Structure 1
Amino acid sequence: MASKGEVHVVHLYPLQMSIYGDLGNTRTVTARLARHGYTPVLHRHHPGDPFPEKAHLVLGGGGQDSGQARVQDDLAVIAGRLRELADAGTPMLMICGMYQLFGNAFVTVDGDHLPGVGILDVTTHANAKRMVGPVVLTTDFGEVVGYENHSGATRLGAGQAAFGRVRSGCGNNGDDGSEGARTGNVFGSYLHGPILPANHALADALLSYAVPLATGRPFEPAALDDAIADQARTRQIRRLVG
């Protein structure tokens, strides 16, 4: 069967900022693209590399504070390009540490400010409380499940939309019921798991934004059997919220 077209996927800092299983998000989107009949082209962007010329979907994962510090200089170099892509509607999914760095700033326990790229209007402060455990969210893509493990407390700026509302878990900060952030087609979230294998509606939504940019045509999904993923998601929802 002929390919429906190439879709270029960029994974930001896979060595420094994907230490909590978030590589599974990259594997999910490339696998689902292939199953839907498209040809995924994966670019792994490391500090110091030129940013790929083609980028239709951008992913980033979680890491320790030291990992964030190691990628900060390179992120400043490519920030302008990332903002251009975001303004053009390029879908992006940033998890945990990269979510924080896509905001305005991350403030460490010592009071140091690590500036972010400012695509999402959020600010994160290191926090004595660690927020750990399974999560259930209500989102525009249905109920989304995952696992959080972060000590950063994130606050949304005025007018910044959350990615979801917490049904079970802590979310951005443990007290306002918000989880993650969304601006256009750019999503930030604390949910590991990784998030996409168990939440195929979200995964395919990202593809539906990426494919028209790549091919000039609407996304044409194939009929996929996602029964196992649905069972895993449903089981977590029932266990946590009934």
Structure 2
Amino acid sequence: MQLKIGHLYPDLLDLYSDRGNVIILQKRAQWRGLDVTVDQISVGHEPRLADYDILVMGGGMDREQGIVAKDLQKRSANIREAADGGTVILAICGGYQLLGHSFETSTGQRIPGLGILDIHTVGAKMRMVGNVVGEMEIDGIKHNLIGYENHSGKTFLGPDVQPMMRVVKGYGNSGEDKFEGVRQGSVFGTYLHGPLLAKNPFLADHLVELALRRRDLSVQLEQLNDDLECSTNEKLYKRLVEAKS
């Protein structure tokens, strides 16, 4: 079975080594015998994005994010076709913001987004920085999720999306509602860097499984030996939650 991954703007959006998420997806699929291809897609590259099973977009600084925002507008229909067709999209930080309706900076500048996610973001003077502990439910099972956030944008969710997780420690989307990230269909947005999937392999597997089920609903990934990863996740969870109190 094949898995085709598109890495969007790896030269512009790679804050805190977000490209590590692509590596984790690739390796965990290959360890299960899947034939994986990874294409780097940036300004000037115009493949049909619906041909990809997974698209990953990281975060970047304001200058790079401005360049990406302009380019995304040119490929708006292309990315929307992919989302509507069930391509799994993982967008981190700046990439997350740009999939929403708009981003209004703290100086009042309005940067239009693609409107794929029913969210909008407003710049704040205070940065929300630090480790995040969350609880995410997948197929009725709760998982502890660890990440790192560093953002000044406050993201607010509309009625057409659901939060990706509940915040146990950290700020999350806005620092107000105790939710982090968003899920809308097969599109996932989050502020968590790290890279996120290295710390939470269960989420990587969930994304791969969703992507493969576009072609075969019966797909179930075989289990890998994640004893080390699970032990590390558990220790981090306990340490960070206890540090909270």
User: TM class by shorter-chain length?
Assistant: over 0.9
Return the alpha-carbon distance in structure 1 between the equivalents of residues 129 and 86 of structure 2.
32
Return the alpha-carbon distance in structure 1 between the equivalents of residues 111 and 18 of structure 2.
22
Return the alpha-carbon distance in structure 1 between the equivalents of residues 147 and 64 of structure 2.
22
Amino acid at match of 2:238: R
Q: CA deviation at 1:160?
A: 2.4
Return the alpha-carbon distance in structure 2 between the equivalents of residues 121 and 75 of structure 1.
17
Residue-by-residue CA offset, 1:66-110 (whole Å, 9 max, x unaligned) = 111011222112211211111122111100000000111111222
Report what 1:171 is aligned to: 172
Return the alpha-carbon distance in structure 2 between the equivalents of residues 96 and 9 of structure 1.
19
Contact 2:18 2:59 in 1 (8 A): yes
Report what 1:41 is aligned to: 37
| 1:8 corresponds to 2:24 | no
TM-score, normalised via structure 2 length: 0.92
Return the alpha-carbon distance in structure 1 between the equivalents of residues 18 and 37 of structure 2.
18
Report what 2:223 is aligned to: 223
Amino acid at match of 2:35: T
RMSD over aligned Cα atoms = 1.4
Contact 1:207 1:219 in 2 (8 A): no
TM-score, normalised via structure 1 length: 0.93
Report what 2:189 is aligned to: 188
| 1:20 corresponds to 2:16 | yes
Q: CA deviation at 1:216?
A: 3.8
Return the alpha-carbon distance in structure 2 between the equivalents of residues 122 and 217 of structure 1.
29
Tell me the SS of whatever aligns to 1:140: strand
State the percentage of identical aligned residues.
38
Contact 1:25 1:195 in 2 (8 A): yes
Return the alpha-carbon distance in structure 2 between the equivalents of residues 11 and 219 of structure 1.
24
Amino acid at match of 1:198: K
Residue-by-residue CA offset, 1:202-231 (whole Å, 9 max, x unaligned) = 111101111133x54643423311122112
Return the alpha-carbon distance in structure 2 between the equivalents of residues 13 and 129 of structure 1.
27
Contact 1:154 1:172 in 2 (8 A): yes
Alignment match of 1:50 (pick from 46, 49, 56): 46
Q: CA deviation at 1:52?
A: 4.2
Number of paired residues? 237
Return the alpha-carbon distance in structure 1 between the equivalents of residues 115 and 218 of structure 2.
29
Return the alpha-carbon distance in structure 1 between the equivalents of residues 18 and 72 of structure 2.
19
